[in-house]
Amino acid sequence: MGRTTAIIIAAAAAVVILAGVLLFMLGRGTEKDVNQMDDELSELTLPAADGASPAESTAAAPATGDSLVVVSWGGAYTKSQIEAYHKPFEAKTGVKINSVDYNGGIAEIKVQVEAKNVTWDVVDMELADAQLACDEGLLEKIDAGTLPAAPDGTPALQDFVPNGITPCAVTTILFSHIVAFDTTKFETKKPSKLADFFNVKDFPGKRGMRKKSPKINLELALRADGVAGDKVYETLSTKAGVDRAFKKLDTIKDSVVWWEAGAQPPQLLADGEVTMTTGYNGRIFDAQVVEGKPFEIIWDGQLQELDVLGIVKGSGKVDAALQFIAFATDTQRLADQAKWIAYGPARKSSLPLVGKHFAKDIDMKPYMPNAPQNSTNAIQIDFLWWADHQEELNQRWAAWLAK
């Protein structure tokens, strides 16, 4: 289509919209109806100069640069991204994806941005970290309008789970912090609820817990101590509530083996160093189902969290990074990732497309953390709360660890 023709079409579309508003106002619509239509029409985007919608234009634009550095958590999780996102994107665009592992947080991103020596392009992050990095100007802004709609035309903003799109990040999966145990260590009476993790008398043995952050540990401690899910952050917002969480952690501190990388919890169980551990549900699934380890997940009290993709400020390859994120978070790609790991896709339209494991005759839907039978007593981690309180609680956490 020629440029002149496209401009004519765009102008005609504008005329049709304005005419619609005038006709509606002359009819029997109320003032409220008119205002609502005005709001809706003001959000309607006109065709681009090539006759396509802005989202279509972005998706069709060729990626710039011959490579991207995409940073993630390693292990089974990165493997699922390589198969579902990286390889198809490379085949479609010719852009090489160089995969790098890290242990989370924003420290490495901050060093690169402040030194103006950015070597990472796209980073997979926990949502609270992404929000903090966004607030500190360490991530590029992402226009939600560039993300593809669902197959039925539902806009991305309506298709993603709550909090799935933020100013600097787009969610890929919903994962869960759970407790898992080695069934061979509890042959007579098996643990079945979160409180059992803190009960070393009836369920003896070492416990594995994540060391790098108070996040997750404080929530699990309060849930195990009887705090209702909808009261957790209200409780943590008080000094007494924080004291209560640390007091609960004190009850098992001498029995804790600390882990930092996501691959460690299943390894700690396999090596017999712990009988129970906190961990990521996808890592435990991989060890349990794929590798045949005698592990079992306790879904009670699970903490659900969103994992997102963000672009490091000053990447130099922002266009290619944006195209990668739009591709990686479309309906089919998120459904495809669930073939490789038991993390729930962030798009509602992806859930019906989740099928069997890529290598085993196993329906993956029952292993999703957001499956109905698994999420009856779950809560989502409040990323905004942690963005406001992370620094102060990190200091308390470090002091508690040092005792």
| Same structural domain, 223 and 322 | no
pLDDT at 25 over 50: no
Task: Clarify whether residues 225 and 163 are in a common domain.
Answer: no
pLDDT at 387: 82
pLDDT of 290: 85
In a domain, 281, yes or no: yes
| Beta carbons within 8 Å of 102's beta carbon, 6+ residues apart | 71, 72, 73, 108, 123
Is residue 210 in a domain? yes
Q: Could you give the residue ranges of the DSSP H alpha helices within 237-345?
A: 239-250, 264-270, 281-285, 318-328, 331-337
d(CA 169, CA 371): 24
Distance, CA of 301 to CA of 378 (rounded, Å): 5
The mean per-residue pLDDT over the stretch 368-376 comes to 88
In 55-108, the DSSP E strands lie at 67-72, 96-101
Percent of the chain with pLDDT over 90: 74
Q: Are residues 108 and 206 in the same domain?
A: no
Q: Report d(CA 165, CA 151) in Å as an integer.
A: 18
Whether residues 236 and 311 share a domain: the answer is no
The model's pLDDT over 220-260, given as tens digits with 9 standing for 90+, comes to 999 999 999 999 999 999 999 999 999 999 999 999 999 99
Structure tokens at 185: 């260590």
Predicted local distance difference test score (pLDDT) of residue 108: 97
374 in a structural domain? no
Helix (H) or strand (E) holding 199: none
Q: Are residues 156 and 196 in the same domain?
A: no
Residue 297 lies in a domain: yes
Mean pLDDT of 315-329: 97
Reply yes or no on whether the pLDDT at 355 is more than 50. Answer: yes
**Mean pLDDT score, 34-57:** 34
Instruction: Inform me whether the pLDDT recorded for 186 exceeds 50.
Output: yes
Structure tokens at 68: 């991207």
Backbone Cα Rg of the chain: 24
Strands (E), 24-143: 67-72, 96-101, 122-126
Which amino acid belongs to residue 391? E
Tokens of 222: 């309060």
Closest CA relative to residue 300, chosen from 187, 198, 161: 198
pLDDT at 159: 96
Residues 272 and 320 occupy one common structural domain: no
**CB of 123 closer than 8 Å to CB of 115:** no
Same domain, 169 and 203: no
Query: Would you say 183 and 295 are in contact if contact means Cβ atoms under 8 Å apart?
Result: yes
Encode pLDDT of 287-317 as tens digits: 998 899 999 999 999 999 999 999 999 999 9
Is residue 126 located within the same domain as residue 245?
A: no
Domain range for residue 18?
1-34
Looking at residue 65, its pLDDT comes to 56
- Residues 37-42, mean pLDDT to the nearest whole number: 32
Q: Is the model's pLDDT at 281 over the cut of 90?
A: yes
pLDDT at 144 > cutoff 70:
yes
pLDDT at 66: 87
Provide the sign of the torsion angle of the four alpha carbons 332, 333, 339, 342, taken in this order: negative
Q: Is the dihedral angle over the CA atoms 34, 48, 350, 194 positive or is it negative?
A: negative
Q: What is the pLDDT of residue 286?
A: 87
State the pLDDT at residue 63.
52
376 within some domain? no
Q: Where are the alpha helices (DSSP H) in 251-317?
A: 264-270, 281-285
Which CATH number fits the domain that encloses residue 128?
A: 3.40.190.10
Residue 363 DSSP class: B
In the predicted structure, residue 188 carries a pLDDT above the cut 60: yes
Residue 156 domain flag: yes
pLDDT at residue 128, rounded to an integer: 86
Q: Compute the mean pLDDT over every residue in the chain, rounded to the nearest whole number.
A: 86
Structural domain includes residue 372: no
Listed ranges 24-33, 309-318, 372-381; the one with the highest mean pLDDT:
309-318
pTM metric for this prediction: 0.72
**Same domain membership, residue 105 and residue 11:** no
Residue type present at position 364: M
What is the total count of domains within the chain? 3
Specify the pLDDT at position 274: 98
Same domain, 132 and 241: no
Query: What pLDDT sits at residue 10?
Result: 42
Helix (H, G, I), strand (E, B) or coil at 256: strand
